[in-house]
C-alpha cells in the first residue's frame, strides 16, 4: 500500500479568519484546567467538517483565511485523510480523488457549513462545552428530518 500522507503533505490547513478571530480562543484550550471543548485547532477544524457533513450541507470556503497547520498534521493522523476521501467519494465519486487539493477543498466546504452551525449555536455562549454537548445531539434529528423529507 502506498503512503497517502505523502500526497497530502503539501496541503496546508486553514480556518476562515473571521471565525478564527471570534471563536478559536473561546473554543480551543490547551492547558489542563481550561474549560474550552477542543484541545487543538485541528480538532475544532475537524469538528466543523464532521458537523457540516452530518448536516449534509456545504458551501464555498471563505476567501480570507488563516493557516493553522500543515499537511504534517494529516500525516500524523492518517485516518483523517481516509475520512476526507470518503466524504469526497460520497459527494463526487472517485473522480474527486484525482487531486489531494480537491479532497481537502471538499472537506473545507463541509467545514464552512459546520462553521455556520457553530456560529449560530455558540455565539455569546458562556459555557460552550455544555452547549456543544447539548446541541450536537440535535444534528441527528435534523439529518433524520432531511432523510424523511
Partner 1 sequence: MKLSRVEFVNFKLLDGVVIDFSTEELKPLTVIRAANGSGKTSILYGLAWGIYGDPGLREDNLRLASSFQKIGAPITVQVVVDFEHTEDGISTSYVLTRSLEETPVSYERVEHKFKKLRLVKRLSAGEEEVKNPQQKLNQLFPLRLKDTFLTDGDKVQSFISGQEDRKERQHRVKEAIRGLLGLDNLEEVKRDLEHLERGFRKDLAEGGDKKLQEAQNHLTKAEIELNGLKQSRDEEAQKRAKIEDSIGTTEHELSEITGVGDIDQLNKEAASAGKAHSLAQKDMASYFENARAMFKSSEGFSWSLAEEPLREGQKVLADLADKGVIPGSSIGVLQDRLDIKTCICGESLEDGSSHRAQVEALIEEQSLISAERERLTATFHRTRAGLNSYESDCVDKRDFKSQRPLLLAQHADIEERLRDASARKRVVDEKIKLIDSEKVQRLTTRLAQAKRDHTESSEKIGALERSVALKDDERIISEKRFEEARKAAKGDDRARLRYEMTLDLKEVVTNTLNTLKTDHVRAISGLMNDLFMQIVGGNPELAGAVFRGVEISSDFDIVITSGDGALLDADFELNGASQRALTLAFIWALMEIADIVAPRLIDTPLGMTSGGVKQRMVEAISSPVTSGLLDYQVILLLTPSEIRDIESLLDERAGKYQTLSCSKDYPAELVHDWAEGGPRVRRCNCSHREYCEVCERTDDSSSGLDRRVS
Taking the least distance from each CB to partner 1, the nearer of 1 and 64 is: 1
Q: Of the candidates 15, 42, 118, 122, which one interacts with partner 1 according to CB under 8 A?
A: 42
Q: Which of 12, 14, 8 is nearest to 75 (CA)?
A: 8
Which of 64/144 has CB closer to partner 1?
144
For residue 136, the minimal CB distance to partner 1 (Å) is: 7
Sequence-ordered list of residues with C-beta below 8 angstroms from that of 17, at least 6 positions apart, any chain: 62, 64, 65, 66
Cell readout for 21 is 478571530
Residue 133 in the binding site for partner 1 (CB under 8 A):
yes
Calpha distance 19→31 (Å, rounded):
22
Residue 54, Cβ density class (10 Å: 0-12 exposed, 13-18 middle, ≥19 buried): middle
Verify binding: residue 101, partner 1, rule CB under 8 A: no
Q: Which residues bind partner 1 (CB under 8 A)?
A: 1-2, 4, 7, 29, 32-40, 42-43, 46-47, 49-51, 53-54, 56, 77-80, 82-83, 85-91, 93-94, 97-98, 129-130, 132-134, 136-137, 139, 143
Amino acid at each position: 500500500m502506498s503512503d497517502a500522507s505523502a500526497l497530502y503533505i503539501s496541503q496546508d490547513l486553514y480556518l476562515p479568519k473571521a471565525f478564527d478571530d471570534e471563536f478559536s480562543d473561546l473554543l480551543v484550550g490547551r492547558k489542563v484546567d481550561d474549560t474550552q471543548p477542543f484541545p487543538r485547532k485541528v480538532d475544532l477544524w475537524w469538528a466543523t467538517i464532521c458537523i457540516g457533513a452530518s448536516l449534509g450541507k456545504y458551501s464555498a470556503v471563505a476567501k480570507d483565511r488563516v493557516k493553522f497547520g500543515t499537511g504534517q498534521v494529516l500525516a500524523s493522523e492518517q485516518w483523517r485523510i481516509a475520512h476526507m476521501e470518503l466524504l469526497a467519494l460520497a459527494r463526487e465519486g472517485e473522480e474527486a480523488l484525482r487531486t489531494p487539493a480537491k479532497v481537502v477543498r471538499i472537506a473545507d466546504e463541509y467545514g464552512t457549513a459546520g462553521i455556520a452551525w457553530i456560529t449560530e449555536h455558540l455565539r455569546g455562549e458562556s459555557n460552550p462545552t455544555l452547549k456543544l454537548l447539548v446541541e450536537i445531539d440535535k444534528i441527528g434529528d435534523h439529518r433524520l428530518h432531511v432523510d424523511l423529507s
